[in-house]
């Protein structure tokens, strides 16, 4: 693995590129702790500075013996070869969340399955994301996340889940804040595991 930080905060979203371990703490609407989960997050450039891939999986196992690739330095041919070699395809499954973001300066947007995401850089170390999750019966969950990267190796995410839907029941209030999730990510590598380089299933 490489410990070389060849980038800074100047290029939007580039500070997120790498392999991270994430601990998420979940709280009830009244602020009561509910549970914690652990996951691994891979972020890499598919097309440098224009298309970014985000993959989170609770089923990954970190291994120092795994082959890693620096997508910020590798040419596009190397990325393409990695996609062919891994033969990995993923969608918006519950245990593996994956999307490609189209990046346009300080803005990004993307979608996979029932999940759509819009994001923006608000300052070099801070981002805002709106995640929209389509549920059954016309229901939607909106997740509003604030992202802060106080150092190249730390990434903090916090935000509430807000429910909206048509034809709600009398005891249901649209727009109420539901669960809140607090993520603490720690960088494991600036490079991502070769096995995390995946193409999205159509």
Extents of the domains making up the chain: 17-200
pTM score: 0.77
**CA–CA dist 125, 145 (Å, integer):** 14
pLDDT along the chain (202 residues), means of 10: 60 94 90 90 90 79 58 60 51 58 95 88 96 77 92 94 68 73 94 76 42
Q: What phi, psi does 166 have (nearest 5°)?
A: -80, 160
Q: pLDDT value at position 186?
A: 97
Sign of the dihedral through C-alpha 109, 24, 162, 134: positive
Q: pLDDT value at position 153?
A: 95
Instruction: Write the CA distances from 128 to 132, 171, 194, integer angstroms.
Output: 13, 31, 28
Q: pLDDT value at position 196?
A: 78
Q: Each residue of 106-142: b (16+ CB within 10 Å) or e?
A: eebebbbeebbbebebeeebebebebebeeeeebebb
Q: pLDDT value at position 2?
A: 42
Q: pLDDT value at position 56?
A: 84
Residue 188, SS3?
strand
Superfamily of domain 17-200: Calycin beta-barrel core domain (2.40.128.20)
Q: Select from 54, 60, 73 the least CA-distant residue to 16.
A: 54
The residue length of the chain stands at: 202
């Amino acid at each position: 693995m490489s410990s070389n930080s060849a980038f800074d905060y100047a290029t939007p979203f580039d500070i997120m590129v790498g392999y991270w371990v994430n601990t998420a703490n979940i709280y009830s609407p009244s602020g009561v702790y509910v549970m914690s989960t652990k996951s691994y997050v891979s972020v890499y450039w598919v097309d440098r500075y224009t298309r970014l891939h985000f993959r989170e999986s609770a089923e990954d196992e970190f291994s120092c013996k795994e082959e890693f690739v620096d997508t910020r330095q590798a040419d596009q041919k190397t990325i393409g070869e990695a996609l062919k070699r891994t033969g990995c395809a993923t969608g918006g499954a519950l245990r593996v969340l994956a999307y490609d973001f189209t990046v346009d300066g300080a803005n990004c947007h993307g979608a996979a399955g029932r999940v759509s995401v819009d994001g923006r850089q608000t300052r070099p170390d801070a981002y805002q994301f709106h995640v929209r999750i389509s549920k059954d019966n016309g229901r939607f969950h909106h997740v509003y996340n604030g992202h802060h990267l106080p150092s190249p190796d730390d990434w903090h995410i916090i935000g509430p889940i807000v429910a909206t839907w048509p034809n709600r029941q009398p005891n249901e209030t649209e727009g109420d804040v539901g669960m809140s999730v607090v993520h603490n990510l720690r960088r494991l590598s600036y490079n991502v595991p070769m096995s995390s380089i995946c193409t999205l299933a159509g």
